[in-house]
Amino acid sequence: MIEFRVDGGVGVITLNRPAKLNAFTTAMSADLLDLVQRIDAERLARVVIVTGAGPRAFSVGSDVSEVDGYAEPWDFRNRRDYCDALRALRVPAIAAVNGYAYGGGLELALSCDIRLAADTASFAAAEIKLGWIGGGGVSALLSATVPASDAALMLLTGDPIDAAEALRCGLVSRVTAPDDLRPEALRMARTIAERPPIAAQSAKANLRAARAMGQDAAIQYERELQAICMATEDAREGRRAFADKRPPKFAGR
């Protein structure tokens, strides 16, 4: 079950299947894709937090009991994937990892722009222990996030790493006590929500493009996005507020 609430421009997506460690069903994947499309199309939130219900798990990925329900491997390949859904989100996304982030749960966290973790969290690319590898982007995303040796160790062994190790290798930005995780995520999200939405979405797009492009192309793309931002009403408001020595009021235009 996917739950969503919004307060002050901050949306919170909660994976609410704690009895199954927030494992994704096909219905949950479809619901997340539909929700992401609504968030963007209807401008429901300026920033989104993704977290898991219960104290044990962020998510352990796909519900393995459903895998044999696909008639053909090709159908499995063409499924509506929850990681693809989250990566399609235009607004910034923060993963608040409250427990196990295994398999597709690790991929889901990697699909967010910022990752925070409780000190009880752990992370694993566990699929290799069952005879396959991840298909939600784990190799590309993990190798772009942590040192090559750390990525290889996780992918080839499937063994978990704890929150302290995740912080050391750069998989997460901050580690908190479990009770402090959501307040810290909300504090960070509210800060981002105060920023001009078009600029925040442009910064997100720019970061992703920079990982995929050569340096010269990435810098040119950055300048194109900068020009778009400079033409917005928000940028004009930012300049007026700076001149008037007052807080800006950004409207997303």
Sheet hosting strand 174-176, strand order edge to edge: 2-7, 10-15, 47-52, 93-97, 114-118, 174-176
Q: State the helix-helix crossing angle for 197-212 and 215-230, rounded to 10 degrees.
A: 170
Query: CA 224, CA 7: separation in Å to the nearest integer?
Result: 32
Q: What does each C-alpha distance from 181 to 49, 117, 120, 236 come to in angstroms?
A: 11, 7, 11, 36
Cβ(110)–Cβ(101) below 8 Å: no
Residues catalogued as catalytic: 107, 127
Nearest to 145 by CA among 176, 105, 106, 172: 172
DSSP string, 150-191: HHHHHHHH---EEHHHHHHHTS-SEEE-HHHHHHHHHHHHHH
